[in-house]
Structure 1
């Protein structure tokens, strides 16, 4: 019987998302678009087959840590990322509010 490997989070720039892999299999992702110095997160999903393992939290934690390392700011349009930030104030210093300007910009970009 094999033991499960540690989940791995990677940034996939060409798809504008961070992915979490379990044993090499895509378990979930959080999508973003960059707007100047802001990384706007707009969607997060974990496959049902991987639910209940805390993968979404690990994924977002590592994504936001990467945003900090890149010197960017976070805009949490995604409800999951926004909820995560209410419990993790260590990212408060780099979080910008979701404004109508940002949501209009995002809507235009996602068309």
Structure 2
């Protein structure tokens, strides 16, 4: 059985994604796009995200390996990725349908959301 404490979420800034690791195995990715790429170069130092009030990330897709789909891993993964986004002071544009559904049920994350037409 998958336990939340066995799962680790890592921000892989070089690949523009969050990764879900379970017992040393990569089991999920949540890809994002920094909308500042449209106007300027992204500057991320090390494994820490940019901390800035004007950062808006589009969360594009969430992928979990089939073996872990029915174990609430996606919800845990998205929750932890959103918590990291909050720590980085990002705003999140939820393009991914799973992320949109997740956010719709959790008012505690509404402060992070940027509307899709923004």
TM-score, scaled relative to structure 1:
0.82
1:87 aligns with 2:105: yes
1:62 aligns with 2:97: no
CA-based RMSD of the aligned residues comes to 1.7
The aligned counterpart of 2:66 is: 48
The aligned counterpart of 1:96 is: 114
Structure 1 residue ranges, 4+ long, deviating more than 3 angstroms after superposition: none
Structure 1: distance between partners of 2:35 and 2:86: 15
Q: Deviations over 1:45-102 (max 9, x none)?
A: 1000222111111110011111111111010000000000001111101201112xx6
Q: CA deviation at 1:35?
A: 1.6
Q: Deviations over 1:7-55 (max 9, x none)?
A: 1111111111111111110111110011241011011010002221111
TM-score, scaled relative to structure 2:
0.77
State how many pairs are aligned.
98
- Give matches, 1:4-43, under 5 Å: 6-36=6-36, 37-43=55-61
Task: Mark the runs of 5 or more structure 2 residues left unpaired by the alignment.
Answer: 37-54
Higher relative contact order (CA 8 A, sep 6+): 2
Structure 2: distance between partners of 1:35 and 1:51: 29
Question: Which has the larger helix fraction?
Answer: 1
